[in-house]
Amino acid sequence: MSSGQLIVITGPSGVGKGTLVRRLLEHYPNLHLSVSATTRPPRRNETEGQDYYFVTQKLFQQMIQENKLLEWAEFAGNCYGTPRFAVEEKLKQNISVLLEIEIEGAKQIKQTFPNAFRIFILPPSFTELEHRLRQRETESETAILRRLERAKEEIALKEEFDRQIINDDLETALAELIKEIDSILKKE
């Protein structure tokens, strides 16, 4: 990669963004994954500093006030945001950066980084999305229903993004993502 490109992966909760991103990083070892900060507690198998920076609500609010976040959003009662410094430094060093973020944050990124390439991951169906959320067994029924309601609103925004990819079959979706990212990185 000859210059830094900001690539944003977004989509509703449960659509498989995390799995796709892990596979993308295997394909692109030089791509830097930005680690988001969140106020939600860690899920099993999540590691501090690798999956998220798990912070208190107070610290998160301080980061907002001090303009230390590129974007942030509240989702399902928790806050999520992208620390500014690390992303800007990597881009200055001509290293491409991948953000896996919530849709509200992805919309904000368009304001700060108009040349960011934003990809929206879609479920094959709403029924399948619900199945995936329930299969995780990480959240209460109330949280699942909140996420599903939010997903309806988010899917309605899909056309605001540069590309939309349906994650029906993981390998097919991954191949489509790689094709899109290859085309963007080759333009640089």
What CATH number is given to the structural domain containing 172?
Answer: 3.40.50.300
Residue type, 84: R
Domain-embedded: residue 1: no
Give residue 187's pLDDT: 63
pLDDT tens per residue across span 20-44: 999 999 999 989 999 999 999 998 8
Q: What global pTM score does this model have?
A: 0.85
Per-residue tokens: 152: 């309806």
User: How many CB atoms neighbour CB 42 within 10 A?
Assistant: 12
**Rounded-to-integer distance, Cα 33 and Cα 44, Å:** 20
Report which residue type is found at 32. Answer: H
* 147 CB neighbour count, 10 Å cutoff: 19
Q: Per the domain annotation, does 166 fall within a domain?
A: yes
CA 132, CA 126: separation in Å to the nearest integer? 10
Average pLDDT, the chain: 91
Region 10-20: mean pLDDT is 92
Q: How confident is the model at residue 3 (pLDDT cuts 50, 70, 90)?
A: low
- Express each pLDDT in 57-112 by its tens digit: 999 999 999 999 999 988 778 999 999 998 999 999 999 999 999 888 898 998 88
Q: Is 77 left (phi over 0), alpha (psi -120 to 50) or beta?
A: left
Query: How many independent structural domains does the chain possess?
Result: 1
Q: What is the token pair recorded at 69?
A: 């976040």
Residue 21 belongs to domain spanning: 6-187
Q: What phi, psi does 42 have (nearest 5°)?
A: -65, 145
In the prediction, which pLDDT does 1 show? 39
163: in domain: yes
DSSP string, 120-178: EEE-S-HHHHHHHHHHH--S-HHHHHHHHHHHHHHHTTGGGSSEEEE-SSHHHHHHHHH
